[in-house]
Structures are given as structure tokens and as C-alpha cells.
């Protein structure tokens, strides 16, 4: 683990989980089943369940990490191994930009979700956005062996894909403040969003 990865693990990781949980609790139902696609170690899903035990959260990922905080099933990264409309809500947190075909995986989420989809991902917006996002990905994910195709989209592309899949945007938020000062000025900006989507 290099120095940047050590700093990220010590000062960013836990803070990020807590802040994301603060945001996502307002985007998820009060109760029901949630599938966390690309759940990693299950830290976020576990924190969401701790805050709201009425949410039944399970995860799937292409890699099985030891001691995950939610039940995790390994999948191929493309097809979600569940029946149509078999879970209330799909959660996709910083996973679509790791997919070679984000629209295909999002289509799978739309198939499996009964009530809706919540996405946290990146926006390719602003000065030096591409290099900044690639650096953030490397620091946060390289040590875990996560694929990094660096697929980042502008908001217009996200909106077009959602519309093509028959998904309607109910909420869209970009002020997440995931990083403490002074890092927030470099790494927050308008590089992140959370969207709550429903079926048309």
C-alpha cells in the first residue's frame, strides 16, 4: 500500500461511508429489500442496515472479500443473478464506471428492481475532471484488484441512457461533500452525483 492509499484508508474511507450513508438514507425506502451491486466489503450496506434495520440488504460483486458486512454472492459483473422485479431497490455505488458496458448493467438493474434504482457515480464535468477521476479510482481501488476501465460520462450521457432504459429521475444531487478541506476543493467539485430512478 503506497502513501496515497494509506492516507485514503485512514482518513477518507470511513468518512466516505458515513457521509454516503447520510445521503443515501434519503434515497432509499423506509423498509424492504435492497441489492447492493458491486458492494465491495459491504461496509456501506452494513452501515445502512445499522441505521435502518428494516432494510434487508444483500450484496453481489465480482470479487468476494473476506469478512464482508452483508451477505455477498459473486456474479460475472454483467448479469444480475435474480428474477425480474425480485428486489425492491437496487443500489449502485461507484460501480457503473467500473463496467465495460455500464448501460447493460444498468438495464439489468432496471429488470431486477421492483421499485427503483439508486446510483452514486461520477460526472465528467469541469477542469481536469478525467485525470482527477482516474487518480481517485487508482488510489481507492487498485489495491483491491478492481477493474478500472475509467468509463466516466457527462450528465447529458447519463440522462440519455436513463431515458433509453425507460427510467425516470426522481432526485438528482451533486453536493455530496465527501472529502474534508482542503481535499474537497480538488475532489468534490461537481465530480459526484446521487440519482434516484424509477420506472416510467
Contact 104, 78 (CB under 8 A): yes
pLDDT < 50 stretches in the chain:
3-5, 7-8, 10
pLDDT at 12: 67
> 164 φ, ψ to 5°?
-65, -30
Contact 72, 39 (CB under 8 A): yes
Q: How many domains does the chain have?
A: 1
**Residue 103: domain span:** 3-199
Q: Which residues contact 93 (CB under 8 A, 6 or more apart)?
A: 20, 24, 36, 38, 44, 119, 120, 121
Predicted TM-score (pTM) of this structure: 0.91
CATH code at 63?
3.40.50.150
pLDDT at 71: 95
Phi/psi region, residue 177 (left: phi>0; alpha: psi -120 to 50; beta: rest), is left
Amino acid at each position: 500500500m503506497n502513501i496515497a492509499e494509506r492516507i485514503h484508508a485512514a482518513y477518507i474511507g470511513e468518512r466516505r461511508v458515513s457521509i454516503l450513508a447520510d445521503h443515501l438514507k434519503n434515497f432509499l425506502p423506509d423498509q424492504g429489500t435492497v441489492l447492493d451491486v458491486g458492494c465491495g466489503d459491504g461496509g456501506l450496506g452494513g452501515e445502512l442496515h445499522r441505521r435502518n434495520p428494516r432494510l434487508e440488504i444483500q450484496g453481489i460483486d465480482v470479487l468476494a472479500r473476506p469478512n464482508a458486512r452483508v451477505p455477498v454472492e459473486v456474479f460475472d459483473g454483467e448479469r444480475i443473478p435474480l428474477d425480474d422485479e425480485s428486489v425492491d431497490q437496487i443500489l449502485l455505488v461507484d460501480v457503473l464506471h467500473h463496467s465495460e458496458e455500464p448501460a447493460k448493467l444498468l438495464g439489468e438493474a432496471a429488470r431486477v428492481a421492483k421499485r427503483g434504482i439508486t446510483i452514486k457515480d461520477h460526472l465528467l464535468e469541469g477542469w481536469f475532471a478525467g485525470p482527477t477521476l482516474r487518480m481517485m479510482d487508482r488510489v481507492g481501488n487498485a489495491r483491491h484488484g478492481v477493474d478500472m476501465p475509467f468509463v466516466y460520462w457527462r450528465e447529458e450521457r447519463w440522462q440519455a441512457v436513463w431515458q433509453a432504459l425507460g427510467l425516470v429521475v426522481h432526485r438528482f444531487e451533486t453536493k455530496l461533500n465527501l472529502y474534508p478541506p482542503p481535499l474537497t476543493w480538488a475532489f468534490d467539485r461537481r465530480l459526484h452525483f446521487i440519482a434516484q430512478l424509477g420506472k416510467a
